[in-house]
Structure 1
């Protein structure tokens, strides 16, 4: 254990609560989500809420204002994915586009289609609401709205029930609580509307109907006094009559006027989805979705549900646990407040002010491997001590965290004492003395669980490891200078307008290095460097005619003479992405139209037909990048060329009308990485078949983990940092490959292995030298993957990188090019400076 990690880490805003997916209420942390309708499709939970927004028009400043719908999904009720906007008031033909009246929706599946039902205010003179339908072949869309609303349905809050015999029913509120049969086409009524009988007096809305054990449950928000309860009735027929049974959830204790809900069974447990104004306590027209468990009595009646902050699901101990979403709390001495009253989506804090006060957070999974450290993000004007316990305020103490005097937020860590807990336990944080504010608590290394493409934030792991920002900035600048300007530089300017990056040991210029240099230049805002490199590439490397038109010769002499005409696909991959970033950063009117150049590569590379055996950059059958898009390399791929988040960048900003395709490529690439990495060691071959299997060739390159393969840990770290779309697997991968390398000796692991971790029979040479080494390039990438890791030994890898020098090995071999570039990339990653570059109006930060 490197005890430098256990010191206090002053990192400013290191870990805002809104950044992390959690098993807590509210379940969506970056926007308002009211009226949550939950549905299970294909074993996954989907959530279709309405979307409260601050009103852009004066008439709705004090009322509900909703312009569109998003859809969210989860397979564990803990981590929710926002699939983006699916319907807006501006793309529904019958909806008045300035009505902001996209109220509570529903979605069901029948006959191979998903039908999304929603209310809104119609165009024309007609007052009130109508209900329309949009259709899709996917639960996440795209949805195509019907041109007209459903005839005969006037009201709000649609709910659709598909009975066991296949007959569908639609329910709504407006002029009473109404229902009718639907035709099999799901967009027309098959019967006249009827009023639901057997319901209590008083205002009612938002019907949600489900069937259980042969009984129909008609549930609804009901104003019994002044604010809404959730109530229900039961019946033997889908259109009633019903017998009123009582209240599922009482009125809001804080006075939120509305509630709206859905009830669904998932993996054998029933859940109540509802909303509350957690993020807007002063204005109850901005609501947020919650979940709590729901139970039935033996006679089928529903047990009342008490709303909780904790919500549902089992939390991972190796994630940030926001104890302010507690399951129980001591009667005195703890107060829950917003972290930032000016931005409530930042979440909450627990303020401990009395010794012995505590907060209990239930169902934390410590796993099968003992945790080693505990960390907390804290602030304390006078200091104090926090005790961390399991299984109750008088349970077993697992750590004491000494909190120093600190007026700004800090992360403070401590070692676990005694036997670490295993499995699922309740977690308790108690104040021993002093006064301490707590944002979150977590165990071991705590990778973030949301990507920068969503949050705009980047993790600074050097700061977490104890280095000051001044040290980090100076180190990064020095490493950049050594690569581009120092005595062992690989960057060389040519005349007034061009430059190249050379693989010194091989005496050539490669698309690999040129595109890497362009990516580094745009990340560091070095426009002149970027433009010089691109002009050299365009003049000497890019084919402008013939079968290879648009592709780049992968290797040239330093005078521009081509060593090979064929391309290597990773060059094109980086060219396209760095050009898009250049367009976003500098625009396209400063002498180079960067976006047009990126599109030119995309268009010409993807329109190859195989004529003269020149293949597309991405294999169209597998949606995976080729090793080289020619007659040989087009048959297989290279794991180190796989950067799924790059495709997401293309989908977002390339503007080439292939967005959906690029997202499919990102998904296929992540699935491929699962297959090509060894399940125990995490190692991958240099090349593989598209299904991830080894090529089985006799050549020295191909089936072993060698030079190309070093890049894979860092590439997976990039995908995790930018997208985090495959977080569970990537966290396990990071731990797995670091476990293997650590087992070989953190100062001794070598740069070539068979993928099962055994010693290679033949050693590949580099720069005329044939030897296994503890290579700087692999030291760098094995540290970069720490962005994904949950084991605290990842900080040991980070310290090793920090303290590494770049000098000749003991046999005289020196690689200024590959080792130097990978080292620079790793420092960029771990300092939070390898970023998705958005158009200039957007910003991002490193924390």
Structure 2
């Protein structure tokens, strides 16, 4: 699980979140928000769009853990799965179970409005099982459940007024007729949240006082009222965010208000983010108005990355905050100092027992400047005077401290003299090497995929490598493939080019389609178009039973060595062409989307005539090994990249979106069956049910060999992009790295039986027949670190970083397969293997 940094507002920093209901279960705070997403349907482009729910937890209100999706519109029987209306939820504990209440739009042509459903779990994080029908008698949104001191349960909701009813002891049916809550102020109201304190019942709600929502409340002596209106908990948003929605919770003898704001989406207030601030009461039980803060709550550890932009106070002139990246606001904010004496204050930093002698800051300055860090008290003790060098971008700079602090302190940061300095974060350490260790200690697999977040891990940076070095290394690896002395890319004089498996003296659809993917990822339209023209002219069948498919092997002059296709080529061709269409459009001499659709349409028309089958086995919904020679009778685990089908479902526009989504789900389920439960190894080929082929002829199919190397990287890609099978994939990554580690991280070989034993016969490569510690497998094993949860991952990443692409001891050198897998792994681990969304 990933820990999201700090209670500095907003507390959820990798996705949009709204309508937070906070509950305390077993000494931890759990937050159940709704989940705003960019709308995939035109009708909701300018409105709220919500497809699922996550739950987050914390035991200190500082570190928040995302437990992933607990319920979605697709797995609730009564919900319209295309409605995107999973609005504000709630969760309570009763009868030894956790009951999750949520509103949604029901199925059916005659259904209108919203119903409220229930899902039940044994743990606050799920898994939650939804009931087959919504609660009868409720038509509305924003359910809230209160269990009073006598154990009676009440449910509140909004819908043409505000309502309350008692719940039966089963927590899933009404025990009384709904009662409308009266004596509230005029104007639009929604989102009720009720709680009890010192014998008084509080009925709180968002209320549009002018044009945007305040948070208001009333008090009474009974859960069903009557309630007397008391006033506001929070004023309207100063920045014009139309909605607010909230909950109040007591934790460790302090009350907190959870609410939302459009921090990450200032221009579109239908994408919100959860915040939290402290709340208190007057002696008569009325609520003191809460003023929203950026600092939020909680104490920040000195060793963590302190986001100064979430300040407690800031000077009137010369200091401001801005987004680090206007194109990706989830990168957060920076503090900008532009005038001498400009300052900001950050409260409650815990230095513990002391010993901090170093600090690190992520800074950017076009002019250079001097920054002072002091304690924000009367003594104003100087911790450090920091010379920030002139730079062309962000750098991480280490400094010595003049003073070692203990316990909790407020800090002041100020600009001394002229210049302009931007600060992203700062942190404190006890010795020079600690910062890299701190970074590595925080590496954990992300909990959301890039389809949702559009963010990618730079695992090299997380492991402590400098960004400038990462960029240079990636460029160097790319150049090795395309322009170096051992390149595998060759341009011809007719605006075409090919990638050659030099050791086998041919051109393969594998390498050509890989080249297309690399070219579009690096935005090299020139390379992409050259490669595609070669594929189109020499490899693709333009007529006959194999029309649309590609001959898997050709000589470098274009003469075909074989006529039949290998399905991994088509898989990468289609995805790369869709990405090219999304990136560059279809108005040049190549209609990229049209070419992708042609491949898919031709494939899906195959009916077994001349033993030529569709790319996908229609019974199992799984990719074939080859769709002709063997009649599509089995598959290859390394051909399974489920996230590619997600791409097809979104952007192929071939009328098969649901089919491709099913293929993605089937592919993930198939991989579970193909992986050895102890070693994490898989065979090169196997049956559609994951069992071994038990081939009597040949030596390839029933062992982990060259094709199989790709599986760790393919699963890492699926995790990075879709994150739809995270628990199993995390276990898989740990498992295969553990096995390889057990064989010696510098000595594991490239061929094994799937149970980890030594192969009886070695498969040769390019005429060389030897087990070796192959760079290609080193690369893909390192890529698996994107999904792993153990510290061994760092060692695999380091081994790839330091590995040299050079001949082995016996003289064997593979510029092609080792080289391509090495490049893909560097793309993955640097955050540069990305989904290309439509521009």
Q: Which residue of 2 aligns with 1:714?
A: 713
User: What secondary structure does 1:275 align onto?
Assistant: strand
Distance in 1 of aligned mates of 2:648 and 2:756? 35
Q: Which residue of 2 aligns with 1:662?
A: 660
Q: Which residue of 1 aligns with 2:76?
A: none
User: What secondary structure does 1:780 align onto?
Assistant: helix
Distance in 2 of aligned mates of 1:427 and 1:759? 58
What is the aligned counterpart of 2:274 among 275, 290, 297?
290
What is the aligned counterpart of 1:172 among 159, 178, 182?
159
Q: Which residue of 2 aligns with 1:644?
A: 642
More displaced, 711-720 or 460-469? 460-469
Deviation of 1:599 (Å): 0.4
Q: Which residue of 2 aligns with 1:747?
A: 746
User: What secondary structure does 1:591 align onto?
Assistant: coil
Distance in 2 of aligned mates of 1:790 and 1:543? 45
Distance in 2 of aligned mates of 1:308 and 1:796? 41
User: What secondary structure does 1:231 align onto?
Assistant: strand
Q: Which residue of 1 aligns with 2:482?
A: 481
Matched-pair contact (CA < 8 Å) for 2:218–2:231:
yes
Q: Which residue of 2 aligns with 1:515?
A: 513
Deviation of 1:771 (Å): 0.8
What is the aligned counterpart of 2:504 among 494, 503, 506?
506
Mark the CA change 1:248 to 1:469 in structure 2 (over 3 Å): closer, same or farther: same
User: What secondary structure does 1:655 align onto?
Assistant: coil
Q: Which residue of 1 aligns with 2:50?
A: 70
Deviation of 1:648 (Å): 2.6
Does residue 205 (structure 1) correspond to residue 203 (structure 2)? The answer is no
What is the aligned counterpart of 1:347 among 332, 340, 347?
332
Q: What does 1:598-677 correspond to in 2, within 5 Å?
A: 598-610=596-608, 613-630=611-628, 632=630, 634-677=632-675
Q: What does 1:303-702 correspond to in 2, within 5 Å?
A: 338-340=321-323, 346-348=331-333, 377=362, 412=396, 439=424, 443-445=438-440, 449=446, 451-453=449-451, 464-465=465-466, 467-468=468-469, 471-472=472-473, 475-476=476-477, 478-482=479-483, 488-492=486-490, 496=494, 498-527=496-525, 529-558=527-556, 560-610=558-608, 613-630=611-628, 632=630, 634-678=632-676, 681-697=679-695, 700-702=699-701
Q: Which residue of 2 aligns with 1:121?
A: none
Distance in 1 of aligned mates of 2:550 and 2:730? 35
Deviation of 1:570 (Å): 0.5
Q: Which residue of 2 aligns with 1:816?
A: 815
Q: Map Cα deviations across residues 431-469 of structure 1 (whole Å, 9 max, x no partner).
A: 999999864589443668465555556556667346547
Deviation of 1:29 (Å): 5.1
Distance in 2 of aligned mates of 1:665 and 1:783? 27
Deviation of 1:747 (Å): 3.4
Q: Which residue of 2 aligns with 1:366?
A: none
Mark the CA change 1:171 to 1:410 in structure 2 (over 3 Å): closer, same or farther: closer
What is the aligned counterpart of 2:217 among 220, 225, 231?
231
Q: Map Cα deviations across residues 136-175 of structure 1 (whole Å, 9 max, x no partner).
A: 9999xxxxxxxxxxxxx9xx9776999999999974356x
Mark the CA change 1:608 to 1:805 in structure 2 (over 3 Å): closer, same or farther: same
Matched-pair contact (CA < 8 Å) for 2:146–2:153:
yes
Deviation of 1:598 (Å): 0.7
Matched-pair contact (CA < 8 Å) for 2:363–2:422:
yes
Deviation of 1:605 (Å): 1.8
Q: Map Cα deviations across residues 766-821 of structure 1 (whole Å, 9 max, x no partner).
A: 12222111212223333444555666765655554455444332223222321232
Deviation of 1:574 (Å): 0.8
Mark the CA change 1:764 to 1:257 in structure 2 (over 3 Å): closer, same or farther: closer
Point out where structure 1 has 5 or more consecutive residues left out of the alignment. 1-18, 54-64, 87-101, 119-130, 140-152, 182-190, 363-372, 388-399, 416-425, 843-847
User: What secondary structure does 1:629 align onto?
Assistant: coil
Distance in 2 of aligned mates of 1:695 and 1:413? 56
Point out where structure 2 has 5 or more consecutive residues left out of the alignment. 24-29, 40-44, 58-63, 74-83, 92-100, 107-111, 121-138, 167-175, 250-254, 351-357, 375-383, 400-406, 428-437
Q: Map Cα deviations across residues 718-743 of structure 1 (whole Å, 9 max, x no partner).
A: 33444455566656655554454445
User: What secondary structure does 1:588 align onto?
Assistant: coil
Mark the CA change 1:624 to 1:107 in structure 2 (over 3 Å): closer, same or farther: farther
Q: Map Cα deviations across residues 56-104 of structure 1 (whole Å, 9 max, x no partner).
A: xxxxxxxxx9634334421446549899999xxxxxxxxxxxxxxx999
Mark the CA change 1:317 to 1:727 in structure 2 (over 3 Å): closer, same or farther: farther
User: What secondary structure does 1:69 align onto?
Assistant: coil
Distance in 2 of aligned mates of 1:508 and 1:785? 30
Distance in 2 of aligned mates of 1:50 and 1:816? 46
TM-score (norm 2): 0.64
Distance in 2 of aligned mates of 1:294 and 1:46? 18
More displaced, 157-166 or 809-818? 157-166
Mark the CA change 1:376 to 1:227 in structure 2 (over 3 Å): closer, same or farther: same
Does residue 116 (structure 1) correspond to residue 116 (structure 2)? The answer is no
Q: Which residue of 2 aligns with 1:94?
A: none
Deviation of 1:108 (Å): 11
More displaced, 722-731 or 773-782? 722-731
Does residue 274 (structure 1) correspond to residue 259 (structure 2)? The answer is yes
Distance in 2 of aligned mates of 1:138 and 1:74? 13
Matched-pair contact (CA < 8 Å) for 2:806–2:813:
yes
Q: Which residue of 1 aligns with 2:768?
A: 769
Matched-pair contact (CA < 8 Å) for 1:627–1:638:
yes
Mark the CA change 1:27 to 1:680 in structure 2 (over 3 Å): closer, same or farther: farther
Q: Map Cα deviations across residues 624-677 of structure 1 (whole Å, 9 max, x no partner).
A: 322223574734432322223322322232111222333343344344445544
Mark the CA change 1:600 to 1:619 in structure 2 (over 3 Å): closer, same or farther: same
Aligned residue pairs total: 723
User: What secondary structure does 2:260 align onto?
Assistant: strand
Distance in 1 of aligned mates of 2:305 and 2:605? 46
Distance in 2 of aligned mates of 1:626 and 1:427? 62
Mark the CA change 1:605 to 1:84 in structure 2 (over 3 Å): closer, same or farther: farther
Q: Which residue of 1 aligns with 2:26?
A: none
Q: Which residue of 2 aligns with 1:826?
A: 825
User: What secondary structure does 2:646 align onto?
Assistant: helix
Matched-pair contact (CA < 8 Å) for 2:233–2:289:
yes
Q: Map Cα deviations across residues 297-353 of structure 1 (whole Å, 9 max, x no partner).
A: 9xxx99999888788999999998868779xx8999xx9963439957653458999
Deviation of 1:571 (Å): 0.7
Mark the CA change 1:580 to 1:374 in structure 2 (over 3 Å): closer, same or farther: farther
